């Protein structure tokens, strides 16, 4: 494995030696530096790398995973450590896109359940009627155009309804129960 610093890529042995120098500069009487200074390559087997676990980090971008030496570590990182700003922004963009798509999908499922209730559907039999699925897909496509959910998908077809039919039916049943309780 290769370790990456701010601008340089180090071998594992060099990275450990740099960490040893840093700890020695902070505390020259540190037990790990005195005991293992000549055997850096064997350090991982003896468990003394745990003293430097704050300085050696792994990039949390899923396609990278490099180990690198962090110059000024903080106590904790909310989203993990990244070896470069590009990987941080790519990971953030992927997380934001996934969250936005999940919210849009949940919103479409809610709208589909409310539309079925407006059509007075009172059971799961709507799933067997192809015409009803087509009408529901058309209604959801109109909703996408009005609410600007094109970042999730441009239109909904019957296969989307079929793929999400269980969640739509659960939401329809929950919403129907809430309406019955509110009416009583």
The pLDDT tens digits of the residues spanning 39-92 come to 344 444 444 455 554 577 888 998 988 887 777 788 888 888 898 999 999 999
Alpha carbon 78 to chain centroid, angstroms:
13
- Which of these, 46, 44, 45, 48, lies nearest to 33 by C-alpha position? 48
Look at residue 31 in the predicted model and tell me its pLDDT. Answer: 44
> Among 83, 106, 122, which residue terminates a domain?
83
Q: Please report whether residue 42 resides in a domain.
A: yes
113 plus 170 within the same structural domain: yes
Last residue of a domain, one of 48, 83, 118: 83
CA 181/CA 163 separation, integer angstroms: 30
Q: Do 120 and 166 have their domain in common?
A: yes
Do 107 and 165 fall into the same domain? Answer: yes
**Strand pairing partners for 3?**
10, 67
- Give the contacts of 153 (CB within 8 A, at least 6 positions apart): 104, 144, 160
* 67 and 141 assigned to the same domain: no
Structure tokens of 156? 């909904």
Q: Is 137:157 a contact under the CB 8 Å cutoff?
A: yes
Boundaries of domain holding 29: 2-83
In a domain, 90, yes or no: no
For residues 54 and 16, membership in a common domain is answered with yes
**Which pLDDT does position 181 carry in this prediction?**
62
* Separation between Cα atoms, residue 22 and residue 10, nearest integer Å: 15
Domain count of the fold of the chain: 2
Residue that is last in its domain, among 29, 56, 83: 83
Is residue 91 a part of any domain in this protein? no
Per-residue pLDDT tens over the stretch 137-170: 999 999 998 888 777 788 899 999 999 999 999 9
Query: Residue 32: pLDDT above 60?
Result: no
Model pTM score:
0.63
Query: Can you give the C-alpha Rg of the chain in angstroms?
Result: 28
Residues 77 and 122 in one domain: no
């Amino acid at each position: 494995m290769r370790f990456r610093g701010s601008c340089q890529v180090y071998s594992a042995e060099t990275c450990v030696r740099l960490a040893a120098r840093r700890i020695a500069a902070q505390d020259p009487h540190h037990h790990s530096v005195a005991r293992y200074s000549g055997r850096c390559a064997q350090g991982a087997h003896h468990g003394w790398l745990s003293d430097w676990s704050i300085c050696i980090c792994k990039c949390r971008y899923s396609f990278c995973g490099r180990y690198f030496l962090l110059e000024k570590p903080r106590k904790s990182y909310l989203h993990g450590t990244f070896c470069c700003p590009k990987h941080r922004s790519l990971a953030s963009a992927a997380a934001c896109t996934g969250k936005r798509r999940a919210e849009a999908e949940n919103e479409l499922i809610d709208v589909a359940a409310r539309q079925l209730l407006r059509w007075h559907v009172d059971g799961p039999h709507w799933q067997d009627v192809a015409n009803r699925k087509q009408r529901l897909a058309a209604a959801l496509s109109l909703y996408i155009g009005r609410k600007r959910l094109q970042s999730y998908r441009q239109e909904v077809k019957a296969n989307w309804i079929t793929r999400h039919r269980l969640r739509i039916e659960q939401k329809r049943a929950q919403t129907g129960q809430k309406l019955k309780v509110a009416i009583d």
